[in-house]
Amino acid sequence: MLPAMAPTRDAVAGPRTGPPPAQTVAAPAVDETDPAGLLRLGLAFCESKALLSAVELGVFDALHETGSSDVDELVARLGLHPRAAGTFLDLLVRLGLLTRAAGRYANGPGAARHLVRGNGSPVRELLDRANRMHYAAWGGLADALRTGGRRPEADYSVMPRDPQRLRRFLNLMDALTTAIGPLLAEAVDWAAVRRVADVGGGRGHLLSYVLTAHPHLSGVVFDLPHNAGPFAEYVAARGLGDRMTFQPGDFFADPLPAADALIFGHVLHDWSPRRRAVLVRRAYDALADGGLLVVYEGLLGADAGEERLPRHPATREEQPDVSGDPVAALDMLLFGEGSSEYTERECRQLLGGAGFELLAVRPLGERDTLVVARKP
Ligand SMILES: C[S@@+](CC[C@H](N)C(=O)[O-])C[C@H]1O[C@@H](n2cnc3c(N)ncnc32)[C@H](O)[C@@H]1O
């Protein structure tokens, strides 16, 4: 699940959001006798931007509502200039996103499943964010590589001033944890836990899965005060108002909730290694002996012998471990606001260094790793 990285003020001020939108793909075959592969790679941004623009313009939403439309109908509905609209739509057909029959366009199966707003797929939210932030940031990649590209850590203080942005952010968080919630409910042994706190738990989406699966649990979401309203709406809608509470606070400054288990989900990677260590120490201090710390994160380079990318020998020590997803790692390193993805090994060290005893490290869904630790 990627980070906020645009060089614009908007993106710079925004917080991290979990795993990156981009997925590493196998290295394309570049045949020295045929430069087509190189050209395709070099110009891939055109097709990428066509998809992102179609999402931005609401092409897939419009076609979802109408079933099918001709170019004039789409021009009118989406407020497009007619000059290039037909060519643009035909490009989307060629990319396999739309179908066209008798001059009428419709969503292809992949678009219908993943690109229509509100259909529950995280892909739409990720592409939305990629368009607003990552695209512009990657446009400045060469500069970021020259300068090191570091930016300040996440700044969540922008959220209360921009309700639309907050809503978009919460939607994205929920989309990313929809797949994780049921898995996390299963993967952890909650039998000895009575009260669980999701620290940085947003409006409670993830925690609602855990509580629904385990009726003996009660829960508290600890998050910044601006999430109190969205939380209240959310738990009322899920019918969990009597089992889940919201504790507003700053996890760097305020006492963490008293609970038998604390969750940090997609939270630690928002911060620099130093601040991550602060959070883990605070969790250790907040838990009673035997208490659980549950971390899920898109950790890089699991220790299970994944192939490592070659490193430049001269800077070996400074290189991040990017064995998991180099696109995500670059994105996070250069544009991730001082936050950084980190490796499974670092996570083990982080928790072990604070005094935790590791109980389990295992994959959680397609992108995340679950780490469960206990305060001895
Ligand atoms: C990247 S989101 C992760 C949300 C959720 N745990 C998930 O897995 O999707 C980070 C969360 O931490 C919260 N947060 C950021 N800074 C915080 C702080 N200083 N104190 C408490 N919560 C904070 C944000 O409001 C946001 O809900």
Give the domains, in start order, of the chain with CATH numbers.
163-374 (3.40.50.150)
Q: Which residues are catalytic?
A: 269
Residue 295 CA to ligand 1 centre (angstroms): 13
Kindly give the number of the ligand 1 atom that is closest to the alpha carbon of 15: 1
Instruction: Check residue 48 and give its pLDDT.
Output: 95
DSSP letter (8 states) at residue 268: G
Atom of ligand 1 nearest to the CA of 254: 20
Cα of 152 to ligand 1 centre, how many Å?
16
For ligand 1, whether the C-beta of 264 sits within 6 Å is no
pLDDT for 201: 98
pLDDT at 72: 97
Look at residue 321 in the predicted model and tell me its pLDDT.
Answer: 47
pLDDT at position 121 is 84
ipTM of the predicted assembly exceeds 0.90: yes
CB-side exposure of 151: number of CA atoms within 13 Å? 27
pLDDT reported for residue 338: 60
Strand duo 218-223 + 195-199: pairing: parallel
Model pTM?
Answer: 0.64
How many Å lie between the centroid of ligand 1 and the Cα of residue 327? 23
Indicate whether residue 297 lines ligand 1 (CB < 6 A): no
Output the pLDDT for position 152.
Answer: 56
Give the per-residue pLDDT at 140: 79
Ligand 1 atom having least distance to the Cα of 173? 9
The protein residue with its alpha carbon nearest to ligand 1, atom 1, reads 17
Confidence (pLDDT) at 36: 81
pLDDT beneath 70: ranges in the chain? 1-30, 148-154, 301-325, 332-333, 336-340
pLDDT by residue (tens digit) across 188-230?
999 999 999 999 999 999 999 999 999 999 999 999 999 999 9
pLDDT given at position 1: 32
Give the CA distances from residue 138 to residues 35, 113, 142, 144, 332, in Å, rounded to whole numbers and listed in that order.
Answer: 24, 27, 8, 9, 11
| Residue 279 confidence (pLDDT) | 97
For ligand 1, whether the C-beta of 156 sits within 6 Å is yes
CA-to-CA distance for 87 and 24, rounded, in angstroms?
A: 30
CB 341 within 8 A of CB 263: no
216 C-alpha vs ligand 1 centroid, how far in Å?
25
